[in-house]
Amino acid sequence: MSLHELSDFLDLSAKANYVLAARGMGVPNIVALLDPKGALSSTERELLAGVLEYLKEAYGDTRRRLGPLAILHPIRCAALLSQASGTPSLLDLLTALLHDKLEDLTAEGGPLTPAEVRLAELLRRLDAQHEWFLMERIEWLTRRDASETYYAYTGRLMSHSQMTPEIVRVKLADRLDNTLDMRVVLADPIERVDFFETVFQALFVPSWEGYRERGPHPPASPLNGAMRLYQLFKNTVLLSLVREVFSDREDRVSATLYDAVAFASMREAERIVLHLFAHHITDRKEQRAVITDAMAYCESGGAARIADPAGKHPLDGFFIERFDYADPKERKAAINTLYQDKALMARAAMTLVGTFEAFATDPGFRVRGLSASGCVPVV
């Protein structure tokens, strides 16, 4: 299975959802999914099963934004980590399964639920040091509150990674799942489409009739193209800060997941461009203008730095003006405004194809101006 392809992710989601629903065998099936080689001991698999039982009870019928069961996210996150590792440790799997516990499942200041009491008793079976490490990792992976920016959160995570590099694996698996979990579809709309061939045809083949998606315009989604661009912005922040802080300690599993996030992000940017070309920017001249403008912007270094919003190019300061808001309401308003500007969305997505390609292929690449302090324009 490819870690970054949407079609393989859809298969993983369907499999996890299907086996989880099996009466009496749901949890054992998920344990087998997370430990396919049987690398864990019987005691470790029993503990893993107990944590999964807790998650089933704690999440209940809670749904993700697009509708699927919320429990699928930590399960898939752990499964992606397992696939990247080959032989994952129990501690890594537990961290992945519980990484959202403090944000999603624990009522602040309230009494422990019976399920949480059972979970605490279960985790005490771990070696005392491992239990401490697990709780520390979960704490580090949790955003403190809405006032903590994504930059500050990621920077704090990277600072802790110097002592516990394994948390980078979990965060990358988390972002990989979130990147792939933006479309509830039966198949990847560009599964058999060569994006770069399509771009070549748009530029050089006068007789080309233009890109067409299979079927009509898809129905409205809670995650539209502008919101997906915001998720790709978050990936840009994460990949830049990981590259800046963690590159000299990057292990094989982290490197595999890093590349998967970069390629999955690039493919999502491609989907956004092609969707816009199929339904919103259908004129060939306009499409060529988007492509050549984005190419010139990348060649000028625009894809590798945060530019001043006062610059002359429409993409200058794009991250700052569209996504860099502490107030979620202001950010939502900016994203809604972006959604109305299909030409700007296409140019941004086209440029992000180049950005994520650079993350995947250039081991020294990062976006200058992105740090734990935020977005700062650079020359």
Q: Taking the model in full, what pTM does it have?
A: 0.95
Q: Which residues contact 115 (CB under 8 A, 6 or more apart)?
A: 54, 57, 58
Q: Which residue has the tokens 């560009």?
A: 190
Residue labelled with tokens 């704490």: 139
Which pLDDT score, from 0 to 100, does residue 109 have?
60
| 219: DSSP letter | P
Q: What is the pLDDT of residues 269-328, one digit of tens each?
A: 999 999 999 999 999 999 999 999 999 999 999 999 999 999 999 999 999 999 999 888
- pLDDT, position 108: 62
C-alpha distances in Å from residue 63, one per residue of 56, 60, 104, 186, 296: 12, 9, 12, 19, 42
Write down the pLDDT at residue 147. 78
Listed by start position, the domains of the chain span 6-140, 187-375
Q: How far is CA 284 from CA 67, 173, 214, 274, in A?
A: 36, 38, 19, 13
Judge whether 309 and 377 are in contact, CB under 8 Å: yes
Q: What three-state secondary structure class fits 289?
A: helix
For the stretch 111-137, pLDDT in tens is 778 889 999 999 999 999 999 999 999
User: Average pLDDT per run of 10 along the chain, which is 379 residues long?
Assistant: 91 94 87 94 96 94 91 97 94 96 77 87 93 94 85 92 90 98 90 94 91 83 94 97 75 93 98 96 94 96 94 94 91 96 98 97 94 91
What confidence tens digit (pLDDT) does each residue in 65-90 have?
888 999 999 999 999 999 999 999 99
3-state DSSP assignment of residue 2: coil
